[in-house]
Structure 1
Amino acid sequence: MLDLERLRALHSVATYGSVSAAADVLHVTTSAVSQQLAKLERETGQKLLERNGRGVRLTDAAELLVAHAERILSLVEQAQADLEAHRGSVVGQLTLAAFPTAARGLVPGALRRLRADHPDLHVLLREEDPLQSMPRVLRGDLDMAVVQDWNNEPLPLPDGLQKTPICEDVADVALSADHPLAGRDAVDLKELAGDPWISSSPDSICCDWLLRTLRAIDSEPRIVHMAYEFATQLALVGAGLGNAILPRMGRCDVPPGVVVVPLSAPLYRRIYAVWREKAARRPAIRAVLTALPASPSTPGRQA
């Protein structure tokens, strides 16, 4: 009889490319993963891993077993979801990822409501950009994720995932107080063509979006600084080092020397929750969806 956890360990090594990466995802030590694989080799009577330089590679037998493991793990997940749905209880553990401003502006209230309404449900929050969290939901490393896209650039939904909208979040432009357009009630993005910009880190969905949005108005982006946190971006704007486009949800206090001005052609992002279709019947998924909807805060214009 093949052990499920050993199949999961092999599947994780195949998915992430190394024993150490699999251990990180499974939240165990590399030694624990190696022991599981060694036991699986004894169970099957087949060699599953071979040395490949400083790493390992899967043997043909392992590749065959991984294909079966993927189907087996999928069926187990569906069975667990069906059992939870039959029981109707909101119990167990659920891993939820959210991008930083949603983790600050939306999720804490939802977690508070879930703790009060469903004390036997334990939600583990992870802060991750949608470019990282959506593939992890699809693979089954996460149960759900709060993700975003923009009104001028929809986010493709991979096969096997479902989504539901949570809210919309308007973005404004942050300018230094001495910027020529800082006194305006609204600005057109084209009026800022050629300006220096401050963006989030290059591996984030917001950075990719800003680059494409500026290029769409025939303005080759001049990104002069990158910072993941909005507070850091605003500090750089206040120092006169560039502009930033900042959504309102989860925005920190605007520091002195910064003016936040609406855009005349509004840009806004749409916030979604996503989860695997096979897990859709889980009462825990439905409980989180009920707890999440909220309206983002809308800070006033400050200088």
Structure 2
Amino acid sequence: MLNLERLRTLDALARHGSVSGAAGGLHVTTSAVSQQMAKLEREVGQPLLVKNGRGVRLTDAGRLLADHAARIISQVELAQADVEAQRGCAVGELRVGAFPTALRGLFPDALCALRAEHPELRVLTRELEPEESMAAVVRGDLDLAVAIDWYNKRMPVPGELVRADLLDDAADVAVPATHPLADRPAVDLADFADDDWISWNEGQFCYEWLVFTLRGEGIEPRIRHIAEEHQTQLAFVAAGLGVCVTPRLGRGPVPAGVRLLPVREAVRRHIYVVWRADADRRPSIRAAVDALRASGVRHATA
């Protein structure tokens, strides 16, 4: 009989396209992936992988078995969801991904609540950008992902995922205390047409949003500095190196020498959580969503 864990390894190889990618998705070593595949090839009596340059590719038999493995794993997940739903308890392991400010702003309260209310549930968290974590949910590497839309730009959600809204998060413009507009009670983004900007990494959804939004205001942004973390961006602002948009969730202490200016036409992020539709009945999913929503309410009313 075929071993389920080895079928999971084959499925991960088919989805990721490499031994290292499969190892990362399964949270095991590359040697463990190779060992599992060698055992699976002995079980089926024929090669499932062949070398392809520095990597590997599936043989015809490998692709055939990988298709079956995907269906088997999906049925196992449905069975797990049904058993959990019948028992009515949030138990087992739940793998969650979230972007940095959501992880910092929502998860400490949410995880403490889950630990108190569902002691048999083990939550594993990973810090990932929304695009990465959503793709990981589609692949089956994560159970939940926290993602964002901006008020004027949506992130595509794959059709096989279910979405639940958590909260709306306002953002301000951070400027040096010496900036000519630092004492304004409110500003428009167009007020900063001549400023240098500090932004997220190029290619990320938030970077694309910033460029899209400023161009919509008639501004061709001068992005001089790239920094992943909001605290790093604020440190650059404090040094007088530019301005940035800074959301409130998970922002933390603001350095001396920085002024936060509300935007007249509110700049907001819509924060939500997604999971696979075939896991919709799992009590652990529902418990985590409820805990994240409660944490979002506490943040919004703080």
Give TM-score scaled by structure 1 length: 0.95
Q: Matches of residues 170-249 of structure 1 in structure 2 within 5 Å? A: 170-249=170-249
Are 2:250 and 1:253 aligned?
no
Deviation for aligned residue 1:280: 0.6
Note if contact 1:194-1:220 (Cα within 8 Å) is conserved in structure 2: no
- Measured after TM superposition, the shift of residue 204 of structure 1 is 2.8
Say whether 1:139 aligns with 2:143.
no
- Is the contact between residue 110 and residue 291 of structure 1 (CA under 8 Å) also seen in structure 2? yes
Q: Is the 8 A contact 1:138 1:276 kept in 2?
A: yes
CA contact 1:230–1:252 (8 Å) conserved in 2: no
Q: Give the secondary structure class of the aligned counterpart of 1:264.
A: strand
Q: Is the 8 A contact 1:186 1:261 kept in 2?
A: yes
Unaligned 5+ segments in structure 1 are: none
- Gaps spanning 5+ residues in structure 2: where? none
How much has 1:217 moved relative to structure 2? 1.5
Deviating more after overlay: 251-260 vs 288-297: 288-297
Deviations 1:176-198 (A, max 9, x none): 11111111111111111132110
SS in 2 for 1:138: helix
State the 1:244 CA deviation.
0.4
User: Matches of residues 1-303 of structure 1 in structure 2 within 5 Å?
Assistant: 1-293=1-293, 294-295=296-297, 297=299
- Give how far 1:299 is off: 12
CA displacement 1:68-112 (0-9 Å, x = unmatched): 111111111111101110111111010111111110111110000
**73-82 or 217-226, larger mean C-alpha shift:** 217-226
Is the contact made by 2:103 and 2:127 (CA closer than 8 Å) also made in structure 1? yes
Separation in 2, partners of 1:184, 1:242: 17
After superposing the two structures, state which structure 1 stretch, 84-93 or 214-223, moved more: 214-223
Amino acid at match of 2:162: Q
Is residue 138–residue 161 contact of structure 2 (8 Å, CA) maintained in 1?
A: yes
Q: Give, in whole Å, the separation in 2 of the partners of 1:14 and 1:218.
A: 45
Are the equivalent residues in 2 in contact too, given 1:91–1:284 (CA < 8 A)?
yes
Say whether the 8 Å CA contact 1:169–1:269 is kept in structure 2.
Answer: yes
Q: Is the 8 A contact 1:248 1:296 kept in 2?
A: no
DSSP 3-state at the match of 1:158: coil
Contact map agreement 2:50 2:56 (CA 8 A) in 1: yes
Deviation at 1:218, TM superposition (A): 2.1
Q: What is the deviation of 1:203? A: 4.2
Provide the C-alpha distance between the structure 2 equivalents of 1:298 and 1:146, rounded to a whole number of angstroms: 17
Q: Which moved further from structure 2: 36-45 or 160-169?
A: 36-45
CA distance in 1, matches of 2:168, 2:73: 35
User: What's the Cα RMSD here?
Assistant: 1.6
